[in-house]
Amino acid sequence: MDAKLRNTISSYFATQPIQKAWLFGSYARGEETDDSDIDILVVFDQDGGKSISLLKHIKIALDLEDLLGKKVDLITEGTLLPFAQETAEKDKILIYERTN
C-alpha cells in the first residue's frame, strides 16, 4: 500500500470512532488492479458498551470512498465468515491504531 493512501486513511480514522484498522485482500498482498476494492477490517470504539449505528458505519465507508476514489469494503472485526477470516488473518496489515 502506498504511503499516501495509508496516511489518508489514518488521518481520517483519527477523526472517527475507530480503535484499530487493518488492510487485507489484494491491496495488502500488493496484487491490486484498477478494479480492486480496498478491504479494511476495523475495531470500533465502544461508547459506553454501545455499538456504532449502521448509518455511521455506512457513512465512514462512503467517506473513505470519496477520499480514496475507490470502492471500500469496511468490515467490522468478528463479522467475517470463518473461511474469509482465515484469508484475512494471513493478509492483514495494521494501518491504524488509536494511541490515546
Q: Which helix (H) or strand (E) holds 26?
A: helix 26-29
Report how far residue 50's alpha carbon sits from residue 47's, in angstroms, rounded to the nearest whole number.
Answer: 5
Tally of domains in the chain: 1
Assess whether pLDDT exceeds 80 at residue 71. yes
Q: Read off the CATH number of the domain in which 65 is found.
A: 3.30.460.10
Neighbours of 33 (CB within 10 A): 6
Q: 43-60: per-residue pLDDT in tens?
A: 998 766 667 889 999 999
Q: What integer best gives the mean pLDDT of the chain?
A: 91
Residue 75, classed as helix, strand or coil, is strand
**pTM: predicted TM-score of the whole model, two decimal places:** 0.90
Average pLDDT value for residue range 7-14: 95
Domain ranges, residue 34: 3-97
